[in-house]
Amino acid sequence: MRRLPPLLRRAWYSLNQAFRQRIAPLGITPDQYSILRWLSESPPEGLTQKEITERMTSDPATITSTLRRMETSALLSRTRHESDGRAKRVQLLPKGTSLFAQAQSIAQKLQNDVLGELTKDEGERFLELLEKIAAACASEIHSPNTSATAGNLRRPQARPTV
């Protein structure tokens, strides 16, 4: 019987590991690539650390640590937000822009290789369906049908069963 969670986990893990291997010579991780991508797609003023944390669906401490390493490597800059003294504004530096361009071509080739197992129409349909699945999963987080209410929050299981 096919089950959604193990299939999604296996696909994500395998894709992540393949990508990690391909970008290793660039000296970045998949998470760092994602941050570079979000920043390259952001307005010229960049993003706040909070916005990056939300887009990465990660915890603030992990993002802060990752951004600190990337700043040390001169990939990005972090400056005090112009109107919120508690916030930091993050912007790409030229080295980060250049590195992102290299990594993006690797990411695109990997996507083409993986989706190459499908016809063009199947690949497009698969991505459309995956978007729907992602939206449905996200809506379940706040669904009244879930057992995780304000008084009953539990840590998600590493291997959900369906």
Query: Which residue, among 83, 47, 86, 82, has the nearest Cα to 67 in the 3D structure?
Result: 47
pLDDT at residue 157, rounded to an integer: 42
73-118 pLDDT per residue, tens? 999 999 887 777 677 889 999 999 999 999 999 999 999 999 999 9
Cα-Cα-Cα-Cα dihedral sign, residues 54, 111, 72, 74: negative
How confident is the model over 8-27, as a mean pLDDT?
96
Query: Count of alpha carbons within 13 Å of 127, Cβ hemisphere only?
Result: 11
Lowest mean pLDDT, pick from 33-47, 57-71, 84-98, 134-148 = 134-148
| CB neighbour burial string for 95-114, b if at least 16 within 10 angstroms, e if fewer | ebeebbeebeeebeebeeee
Strand duo 47-48 + 76-80: pairing: unpaired
**Mean pLDDT, residues 5-28:** 95
Average pLDDT over residues 7-25: 96
> At a CB cut-off of 8 Å and minimum separation 6, what does 97 contact?
40
Q: What is the architecture, at CATH level 2, of domain 4-141?
A: Orthogonal Bundle (1.10)
Cβ atoms of 70 and 96 closer than 8 Å: yes
- Average pLDDT of the residues of the chain: 87
Neighbours of 17 (CB within 10 A): 11
Domain boundaries, the chain: 4-141
**pLDDT at position 152:** 45
Q: What is the mean pLDDT of residues 131-147?
A: 82
Give 141's pLDDT tier (boundaries 50, 70, 90): confident
